[in-house]
Structure 1
Amino acid sequence: MGDSQVNELAASANARGLAALRSGDFATAIDCHRVAAEADPESGALQRNLATACRAAGDDEGEIAALKAAIALDARDFIAWLRTAQLRTRRGEESQALSAWHAVIQMSQAIGELPPLLAEEVAQGQRVIAGIQAKLTQGMETRVSSRLEMLQGRDARRARAFLDAATGKRQIFNDRCSGLHYPFLPADEFFDDDLFPWFDQLAAQADKIRAEAVHVLANCRHLFRPYVQMPKGGHAGPWAVLDGKLDWSACFLWEYGTRNEALAEHCPATFAALDAVPMARIPNRAPTAFFSVLKPGKVIPPHTGVTNTRAIIHLPLVVPPKCGFRVGGEEREWIEGKPFAFSDTIDHEAWNHGEEDRILLIFDAWNPHLSQVEQDAIIEFCDVADSLGLSPQEHDIGR
């Protein structure tokens, strides 16, 4: 039989099958569509038509076989995957349904805008995924909650992040450095407090530091400047709402390794506290330390910093209600007088939905996973880079 005859046979059988399907004669529809699919075994569309007839007749096994055949012909057959996901859901086969729906969602994102009916079917699939994941999460929580309660510190935080990520409750973020990147360091959102044994020493000075910050803000307002100052003519992007404004302002005690002597008489306790902790010290680059003020109703948009060789320390000084901070998949509230450290190369944002200024002391320390030898190597590298005129001081919006 020639190709034209095959095509005619497939087309004729398909037409008879569609007519039988419209009239409700599902058995005849299946027979005709099977003849069409056998006549043209390279046609995924004919396999889908056969699957539709089987679905109408309640023949799940026939529908599964036809959809598998369609997907075998084209692994990105969106409609075949969609019907497979719906069939698995209908049969209560949650594992296979979840896998199929994930394929549908992924393909739909690549396709872009869908016709309204298909878009609603995909939306239904997203609801199915959410329901299955909720059941999975509940089951996981029931079985492992007692074990999680036995964990403490970093073990508890990492185990919780693992469980939440595995059950679709949170995203895991990688670090993104716009400048110096040191390989193989852990991409942790918040560093564990026990990596900074001097935190208690810093916290003990919080009241004195707070008093000096409030004094400077009240009496030396001219020493504060907008934290975001983009180059003129550049694209401010998400920073446009803060660019050149005091909505997020900073009063620098140290800036790129230079001490601000104009503040020395106003902030002796703060300078003493900073001198007593191991800030990162790189000539012409670090440390940077400043009082950070975020005005009421203002938001710092999601962003990432320059280098993963540093840890950013926040010492909260004045924290009104409705303030918050997110790094990666974890949100925290600032607690006055309690420092913490995080990696600003991981996506982070902050907000002040309260009615008063939020004030922090922020400064750089070395990433605690770097050895002294590695710190010295970084210092040497930066010295050579500076000698070649490679400036580190542009567009460092992190912290």
Structure 2
Amino acid sequence: MATSLSELVGAAAAAAAAGRWQEAERIWEQVKQLDGGNVQALFSLGVHAFQRGDATAALELLQAARAQAPKDPMLAVTLSRVFRELAQPEREWEAIVDALRIDAYFLPGLLGKAEFLERRGRTRMAAAAFRDALTVASDESQWPPALRRRLEHARALVQADTDGLTAYLAHRVAATRATVHATLADRWDEAVSILAGRTRPYRSECNQLHVPRLPAITFYDDALFPWMRELESRTEAIKSELQSMLESSGDAFVPYIQYRPGDPVNQWDKLNHSRNWSGFHLYAHGEPVQAHLSQCPRTAEALALVDAAEIAGLCPNAMFSALSPGAHIPPHTGETNVRLVAHLPLVVPDKCMYRVGYDRRKWREGKCWVFDDTIEHEARNESDQMRVILMFDVWNPLLSHAEREMAAALAGAMREWRSAGEVERML
């Protein structure tokens, strides 16, 4: 039989964890008799009393516990629940504020604050407080089970508030937006979305060379690429070669994502070594794939028209990119903002979507576009047919020719440094 105070505390905690509430309460009473100021016993007995519906006894016990541990935010929050039951909103609010004075990031306190405001009909203030709680709660996979239902409610209310605010802002500025030039209007739609909290700003995130002070533009103006119309005029010839190649060499399409065993694949786990996203490479990491180019001479001629980015070991890249029915390329970012990526759609079934940052577009066969792949982007094929595009690299037109040479030199120097390091490890 447990006799020491520490043994009794352990036995009470074990009984509570096993759901033996009456046994736990009986042992906590023994702890309280041995140590009248034991915070854990006073708190637990107060919670037991509250669960039985005896709010008055719960208040007395919890206030005694708080007197012993005035810096414990959980005691203040628990007292707020008792004051709520006793229909004392002023004291409930005071207890919540006290908890957040102790710890401004205390999740139960933030939820209590938001729920109090919501019950008082102050929905917009409640939404702001719920946003704070969701920020503190972080990723949903890490939500405490005891708070999950409350956090799900918080998320729903925040979403409703965000939708309402977005619609309100768009309506209020609609007349002013109509005066903005059509080529600039989309940025103000995104500004509304960011201001309302629906989306976040999307910035250039380069895995390799990042050139600062280049604007993060999702889709570039067609007028910046004088080769584009001529390329588009050759769509049927390119598509014909694609179809012939598929009939004769379809197995030359290889998985686009090919991590080695032991490499961290992160978001690519579902596509790693999968033919759901595959490519027939014409140029790869700056080198021509002559065997494939010879199979597609008219496509090779079309690619010779473009202002291809040339950085040894990195680009140009060009390939027929195939996305299988139901496949999803998850959000990701590219290598460098000195080059952009172009798509010439060749086989485009319905229900295919492409997103770059805030902007969503649908491919149209024969209509080329150029985008900055260092801005988060993703693709979906929700049709029952294969989607195929010609994808290739071009220089960012906002760079001068001298800056292109600088980019190639800098990337080359970095490659030399890494290559020397590989040799050192081998020696």
Give the structure-2-normalised TM-score.
Answer: 0.75
Percent identical among aligned pairs is 31
Of stretches 352-361 and 316-325 in structure 1, the one that deviates more from structure 2 is: 352-361
Counterpart in the other structure of 2:217: 188
Of stretches 89-98 and 188-197 in structure 1, the one that deviates more from structure 2 is: 188-197
Does 2:353 align with 1:324? yes
Task: Give the alignment partner of residue 364 of structure 1, picking from 367, 381, 393.
Answer: 393
d(CA) in 2 for partners of 1:345 and 1:119?
A: 35
Does 2:90 align with 1:61? yes
Does 2:112 align with 1:83? yes
Does 2:243 align with 1:214? yes
Of stretches 370-379 and 289-298 in structure 1, the one that deviates more from structure 2 is: 289-298
CA apart distance, 1:261: 4.0
Task: Give the alignment partner of residue 190 of structure 2, picking from 155, 161, 173.
Answer: 161
CA apart distance, 1:341: 1.5
Of stretches 335-344 and 106-115 in structure 1, the one that deviates more from structure 2 is: 106-115
Does 2:161 align with 1:132? yes
Contact 2:259 2:265 in 1 (8 A): yes
**SS state at 2:346 partner:** strand
Task: Give the alignment partner of residue 228 of structure 1, picking from 257, 260, 263.
Answer: 257
Task: Give the alignment partner of residue 325 of structure 2, picking from 292, 296, 301.
Answer: 296
d(CA) in 2 for partners of 1:38 and 1:365?
A: 69
Counterpart in the other structure of 2:233: 204
Larger relative CO (CA 8 A, sep 6+): 1 or 2?
A: 1
Distance 1:244 1:37, change over 3 A: closer
**SS state at 1:359 partner:** strand
Counterpart in the other structure of 1:258: 287
**SS state at 1:250 partner:** strand
CA apart distance, 1:276: 2.1
Contact 2:345 2:366 in 1 (8 A): yes
CA apart distance, 1:179: 2.1
d(CA) in 2 for partners of 1:264 and 1:77?
A: 61
Question: What are the within-5 Å matches in structure 2 for residues 276-315 of structure 1?
Answer: 276-315=305-344
Distance 1:331 1:103, change over 3 A: same
Counterpart in the other structure of 1:114: 144
Counterpart in the other structure of 1:148: 177
Distance 1:262 1:125, change over 3 A: closer
Counterpart in the other structure of 1:394: none
d(CA) in 2 for partners of 1:187 and 1:240?
A: 28
Q: Which amino acid aligns with 2:151?
A: V
Contact 2:55 2:82 in 1 (8 A): no
Q: Which amino acid aligns with 1:174?
A: R
Distance 1:216 1:100, change over 3 A: same
d(CA) in 1 for partners of 2:256 and 2:271?
A: 8
**SS state at 2:138 partner:** helix
Aligned residues: CA RMSD: 3.9
**SS state at 2:393 partner:** strand
CA apart distance, 1:230: 3.2
Distance 1:195 1:65, change over 3 A: farther
Task: Give the alignment partner of residue 370 of structure 2, picking from 341, 347, 361.
Answer: 341
Task: Give the alignment partner of residue 178 of structure 1, picking from 198, 207, 218.
Answer: 207
Provide, for residues 83-134 of structure 1, a one-character-per-residue CA deviation record: whole Å limited to 9, x for no partner: 2111111112234312321222233337934244x32122222222122222
Contact 2:50 2:82 in 1 (8 A): no
**SS state at 1:231 partner:** coil
Of stretches 360-369 and 275-284 in structure 1, the one that deviates more from structure 2 is: 275-284
Contact 1:7 1:40 in 2 (8 A): no
d(CA) in 2 for partners of 1:24 and 1:222?
A: 74
d(CA) in 2 for partners of 1:227 and 1:19?
A: 62
Q: Which amino acid aligns with 2:174?
A: S
d(CA) in 1 for partners of 2:170 and 2:255?
A: 46
Distance 1:85 1:376, change over 3 A: same
Contact 2:345 2:368 in 1 (8 A): yes
